[in-house]
C-alpha cells in the first residue's frame, strides 16, 4: 500500500496496516523535516509530485521489496504540500518473519523512493528564501 497525503501521516495506522500474525519483525522508517540543510537554516519544506507517476513507481518498489524479502506486508506514505520542521514527510513500514529481512527491505524501499519516485521539495530557508532542493537524481528506466 502506498499513498500520497496532504495530511499528517498517522503512524499508528501505518503500523496497523503492516501488522501480521505471521510476522516476527516490523520495521518503520520516518523521514522528518530537519531545521537545516548544509549551512542554511530551514523553517519548512514544500513537496510536490505528479501523483500518477509516483504511484506507479511506488507500486514497482513495493512489489520488488515483497518479492526479494518475502515480506508479509508493506506500507508507505509520502506527504505533499507545506510541512514544518519536525513533521514526518515520508514513512515506510514493513513486516516479515525475521528482523534482518525487515531492516533490509525498509532501507531498500526508502533508498528507491528517494531515487525513483518523482517528488520534489522546495526548502524554505531563513537565509536565502525558498530554494528547490537538488536532492537525489531520479533513475529512469
The DSSP secondary structure of 32-59, one letter per residue, reads E--SEETTEEEEEEEEEE-HHHHHHHHH
Q: Where are the domains of the chain?
A: 2-128
Whether the pLDDT of residue 136 is over 80: the answer is no
pLDDT class of 141 with cuts at 50, 70, 90: low
Could you tell me which residues come within 8 angstroms of residue 11 by beta carbon, excluding any fewer than 6 positions away? 28, 30, 88, 91
Q: Which of 83, 88, 131 is nearest to 110 (CA)?
A: 88
pLDDT on residue 139: 61
pLDDT on residue 78: 98
Q: What is the mean pLDDT of residues 128-140?
A: 70
The CATH code for residues 2-128 is: 3.90.1170.40
pLDDT on residue 37: 87
Least confident of 16-20, 52-56, 122-126: 122-126
CA atoms of 114 and 119, how far apart (whole Å): 8
Task: Report the relative pairing of strands 119-125 and 81-84 from DSSP bridges.
Answer: unpaired
CA atoms of 112 and 123, how far apart (whole Å): 21
Could you tell me which residues come within 8 angstroms of residue 46 by beta carbon, excluding any fewer than 6 positions away? 81, 82, 83, 121, 122, 124, 130
pLDDT on residue 138: 57
Residues 14-51 pLDDT 10s: 999 999 999 999 999 999 999 998 888 999 999 999 99
Residues 67-102 pLDDT 10s: 999 999 999 999 999 999 999 999 999 999 999 999
Amino acid at each position: 500500500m502506498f499513498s500520497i497525503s496532504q495530511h499528517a501521516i498517522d503512524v499508528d495506522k501505518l503500523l496497523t496496516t503492516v501488522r501480521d500474525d505471521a510476522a516476527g519483525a516490523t520495521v518503520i522508517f520516518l523521514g522528518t523535516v530537519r531545521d537545516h540543510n548544509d549551512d542554511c537554516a530551514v523553517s519548512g519544506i514544500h513537496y510536490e509530485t505528479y501523483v500518477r507517476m509516483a504511484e506507479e513507481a511506488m507500486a514497482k518498489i513495493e512489489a520488488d521489496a515483497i518479492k526479494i524479502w518475502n515480506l508479509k506486508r508493506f506500507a508507505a506514505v509520502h506527504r505533499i504540500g507545506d510541512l514544518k520542521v519536525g513533521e514526518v514527510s515520508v514513512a515506510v513500514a514493513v513486516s516479515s518473519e525475521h528482523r534482518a529481512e525487515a531492516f533490509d527491505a525498509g532501507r531498500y524501499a526508502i533508498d528507491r523512493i528517494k531515487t525513483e519516485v518523482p517528488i520534489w521539495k522546495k526548502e524554505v530557508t531563513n537565509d536565502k528564501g525558498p530554494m528547490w532542493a537538488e536532492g537525489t537524481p531520479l533513475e529512469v528506466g
